[in-house]
């Protein structure tokens, strides 16, 4: 059976993550999870490889034991004579060989399972690596988009500030113009008043001149 996946711990959010979009946070969490899975596999792989080596060594030892029994049984004339006259010895030997063969089959099963586990984990590790690379590309693209948006925002802010400054200048110019207009208006009013007085004086002088002419 393939090993159960371990639940990965989510990476702690930093202050920079607070301003990230929900999609950006989900992608970041997915990258962290895949990297955690790969880390778990890297820890488990040596254990499985050790079990695999132990199973292979056990099989070799059992095979050597059976070969030793056969050599002793059939390589010794005296032992063959014992077998010929005592069925119990032959039965015991056959049982021992059968037990050893069962142990070898168990070792072979363990080897098969461990090989399957290692292949499964290697497949998962390869897929995890592909996911990490894909996620890192998407993560990098998102970072580039965020930087572009930030640059656009900064440019927009600069334009807004420029417009606000221009409005302030216009307002200042309007205030100055109004002040000058009022000053000119006051000067004109004063000039008109002076002109009116001058005309009144001029009329009086003309009237006096007419009276003098009539008297003469």
- For the stretch 156-178, pLDDT in tens is 888 888 888 888 888 888 888 88
pTM recorded for the entire structure: 0.34
pLDDT level of residue 71 (50, 70, 90 thresholds): low
CATH of the domain at 87: 1.10.287
Closest by CA position to 8, among listed 161, 128, 154: 128
Confirm whether 212 is domain-assigned.
no
Confirm whether 8 is domain-assigned.
no
Confirm whether 10 is domain-assigned.
no
- Residue ranges making up the domain that contains 132: 19-155
What do you get for the CA distance between the two ends of the chain, in Å?
A: 145
Residues 6+ apart with CB under 8 A from 35: 128, 132
Neighbours of 20 (CB within 10 A): 17
Tokens of 68: 């030793």
pLDDT level of residue 14 (50, 70, 90 thresholds): very low
Residue pair 121/41 in contact by the 8 Å Cβ criterion: yes
Confirm whether 13 is domain-assigned.
no
- Name the CA radius of gyration of the chain, rounded: 52
At 76 the pLDDT is 57
């Amino acid at each position: 059976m393939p090993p159960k996946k371990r639940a990965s711990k989510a990476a702690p959010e930093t202050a920079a993550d607070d301003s990230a979009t929900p999609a950006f946070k989900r992608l970041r969490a997915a990258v962290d999870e895949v990297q955690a899975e790969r880390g778990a596999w890297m820890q488990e792989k040596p254990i499985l490889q050790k079990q695999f080596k132990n199973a292979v060594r056990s099989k070799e030892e059992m095979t050597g034991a059976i070969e030793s029994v056969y050599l002793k049984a059939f390589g010794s004339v005296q032992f063959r004579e014992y077998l010929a006259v005592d069925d119990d010895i032959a039965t015991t030997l056959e049982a021992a060989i059968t037990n050893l063969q069962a142990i070898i089959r168990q070792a072979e099963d363990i080897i098969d399972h461990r090989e399957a586990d290692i292949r499964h984990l290697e497949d998962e590790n390869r897929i995890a690596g592909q996911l990490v690379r894909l996620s890192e590309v998407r993560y990098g693209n998102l970072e580039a988009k965020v930087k572009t948006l930030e640059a656009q925002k900064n440019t927009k802010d600069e334009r807004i500030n420029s417009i606000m400054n221009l409005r302030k200048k216009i307002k200042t110019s309007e205030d100055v113009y109004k002040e000058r207009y009022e000053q000119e208006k006051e000067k004109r009013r004063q000039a008109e008043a002076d002109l009116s007085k001058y005309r009144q004086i001029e009329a009086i002088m003309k009237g006096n001149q007419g009276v003098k002419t009539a008297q003469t």
